[in-house]
Each structure stands twice: as structure tokens, then as C-alpha cells.
Amino acid sequence: MDKQLEKEKVRSKVKTGIVDCDVHISPRNKDEIRSYMKPPWSYRYSGGGRGGLFGTPAPSHPMRLDAIPPNGGPTGSDPDFLREQLIDLYGIDYAILLPRSFCNLQPDPDFATAIAAAYNDWIADTWLSKYNHDGVFKGSITIAHNDPFAAAKEIERWAGHPHFVQVMTDSGARAPFGQRQYYPIYEACEKHGLPFALHPGTDGMGINIQSSPGYPTHYIEWHTSHSLTFQAHLISYLTEGVFERFPNLKIVLVEGGVAWLPTMLWRLDQEFKALRYEVPWLTKKPSEYLRDHVRITSQPLERPDNDEHLMQVLEMMDAEHILMFSSDYPHWDFDSPTRAFPKLPDAMRQRIFSQNALDLYKL
């Protein structure tokens, strides 16, 4: 154990105001999810699947080796151990939970919807109930986006729950998310004041299109290219006029990188000057929709050798108002809240680590 971690371990359990916007939990086994399914889906379900493309993962992927619970179960499956390693160690006020069902790779939309529903029943009964005596855990409603009408019904089913604070789906899809077939999902999200979160997963798997021109050869290539999908979805949201049609909709880009945002917006704004006749429904430059409608989580945070360069990027992207801290526990590239950033101005730090998420999720 290094000296920094030793110092962290002696901290008291005093809350620090931190909201961690990307914490992954897992069922103890596939039968825990299957118990919430009816035939024929319970007969067919064999586990969640992988979020990547590679049968042999990198040595340290997908999870921290020290995050395996004492009972030997899957990482993120033991609430007491998660509290010890994350909540208590760093004084986390709230952990936004994102279970990984990978339901969106399924070609059968009814089966995909059944998986999503089972995950929602499971997290409601466990992490948002019996494991949540202090209310620190806040959940995400899993949906299968390849059936938007069924997804909207699933949102309606859980919208009144006190601990579900957003809707979530995989970034893997057959079409960019700004297109109109997804409108029933956004209508339900806006109706109930629930942000819509995108998380990497199922790109190029099952029925979904790979975000790059073809399939990558190595894990490093695939992992570095996560941001390509997020750029495509965000450009689609902005140019299709989703935020004009749904003026109260908020989206959250989770675990797709950060530093790409300013240059993408520069290019899009520049294109808009010449091509705005294509998108007459936009009432302002694409970049001007960001603060009101888009939040982005910090992990994985691209960290250059010169911290001044990172601070410049954060300023360019209006990080003080749109960036939210995330650790990505228990993945191998976990970001500790004590190490993820260089020294931030007090006002920016407070908003990134706390206020932006408190405002978004109404905590």
C-alpha cells in the first residue's frame, strides 16, 4: 500500500460533500437477476455480457484487483465492502449507481426490455432499499433503447421512486440518439424531470454499430476510442434540435472522456455558420445549448503532463458548470477524488465535486 493510500485510510467517516456520479454495482450472481424474470425470459437469461469487444481482457480490466469482496463475489456486489472502499474512505455524500445490464446488444427487444426491468427491480429491492439505510445510494433506471415505447413505460414505472434519480442506457446503438425514434424516451424523461445518462457499452456488439470505421485490433485502441461514440451522439442531439423540442431535457455523458469537448464544439459552431439552413430549428449556436442541457462526468479525465494545460481545457469547456466528478469505481482506471484533478479554484472545485450534481439530481 502506498503512502497516499495509507493517509486516506486513516480519514474519519466525515462527509466531504462529494457526489460520485459513476459507481458500478453488480448482482452477486446471474440468478439474482433471473429471480426477477418470468418465463420465457428467465430460461433464456445467462448473464449480463461484456461491455467490450475482447474475449481476453487486459490484465487489469475490467475491475480493480483490490475491489474483489472478501467473500470472493463479483466486484461491486458487496455493499459493505463498497462502503469501506469508497463511501467511508472518501466521505462520499451520494453515490450515483450505474448497473451494467448490457441489455441493448440483444436483437429481441422484448428480451432486452425484460433484462432492463429485472435490473430495475433488483436494484430497487437491494441497493436502494435494504442496503441504503442512510440514503447515500441513488439509482439509475435501466432502459433498452431499441424499443423506445417500452423504455418510456419502464421510466413511468419507476419515476416516482425516491432514490431513482436518472435514466441510463448503453452508448451502443443503431442510430445517433438525437434521431426522432428516441423521442418517447426523452418525453418521459422530461415529464418526470429525470436526466438521461449515456454510458459506454455494447458498441459494435449484437445489433449495434461500431463507432469507429471498423473493429479495433487491441484493447488500448477500443478503450481510447470511447469518446467517438459520445461525440456522435452529442452532435446528433445538438443538430437534430432535441433540446428545442424538449427544452427541459438534461443528458449526462458518463465515462466518455472530457478534453474532446471544446474542439468538437468549435468545429460544430463553425459549420453552423455556413450550414444553419439545414437546421433552421436551432435558435442559437450549438455550443450555447450545453450549459442548460448537458453534463459530463470526469472519469476518465485526460491528464496532460502540464496541469496548466488541463486547467485551460477545463476553462474552455465551462467545466465549472457542466463537469461532475466521477470515480468509476470499481474499474481498473478508477479516479480517486484526492488525485484526479490538479489544484482547482475553490469555486470550481465545489461545483465539480458537489453542486453541479446536487442541482442536476435535486439532492
Whole-prediction pTM value?
Answer: 0.93
Residue from 2, 5, 195, 27 nearest 85 by CA:
5
Name the band, by pLDDT with cuts 50, 70 and 90, for residue 67: confident
Burial string for 150-185 (b: 16+ CB within 10 Å, else e) reads bbbebbeebbeeebbbbbbbbbbbebbbbeeebbbb
pLDDT at 72: 87
What is the helix, strand, coil percentage profile of the chain, to 5?
45, 10, 45
pLDDT (tens digit per residue) in 127-156 = 999 999 999 999 999 999 999 999 999 999
Fold of 3-361: TIM Barrel (3.20.20)
Q: Angle 188-175-179 (CA atoms, 0-180°, nearest 5)?
A: 50
- List the grid coordinates of 36: 426477477
Category of 60 on φ-ψ map: left (φ > 0), alpha (ψ -120 to 50) or beta: alpha
The amino acid at residue 309 is: H
pLDDT (tens digit per residue) in 25-62 = 999 999 999 999 999 999 999 886 544 454 444 444 56
Burial string for 226-238 (b: 16+ CB within 10 Å, else e) reads bbbbbbbbbbbbb
Name the band, by pLDDT with cuts 50, 70 and 90, for residue 2: low
| CA–CA distance, 255 with 203 (Å, rounded to integer) | 14
- List the grid coordinates of 281: 430549428
High-pLDDT (> 70) share of the chain, %: 92
SS3 117: helix
Is pLDDT at 196 greater than 60 in this prediction? yes
Going by the DSSP 8-state scheme, the letter that residue 329 receives in this structure is: B
Name the band, by pLDDT with cuts 50, 70 and 90, for residue 112: very high
Residues facing residue 63 across a β-bridge: 331
H-only helix segments in the chain? 3-9, 30-34, 41-44, 79-82, 88-90, 109-125, 148-158, 183-192, 219-224, 226-240, 242-245, 261-275, 290-293, 307-316, 319-322, 346-350, 356-361
- List the grid coordinates of 319: 467545466
Name the band, by pLDDT with cuts 50, 70 and 90, for residue 204: confident
SS3 299: coil
pLDDT at 351: 98
pLDDT (tens digit per residue) in 205-249 = 889 998 888 888 888 888 888 899 999 999 999 999 999 999 999
pLDDT (tens digit per residue) in 245-281 = 999 999 999 999 999 999 999 999 999 999 999 999 9
| CA–CA distance, 248 with 322 (Å, rounded to integer) | 15
Sheet arrangement for strand 294-297: 18-23, 92-97, 137-142, 164-170, 196-199, 251-253, 294-297, 323-324
pLDDT at 49: 56
Residue from 138, 195, 207 nearest 169 by CA:
195
Residue from 72, 74, 64, 62 nearest 27 by CA:
74
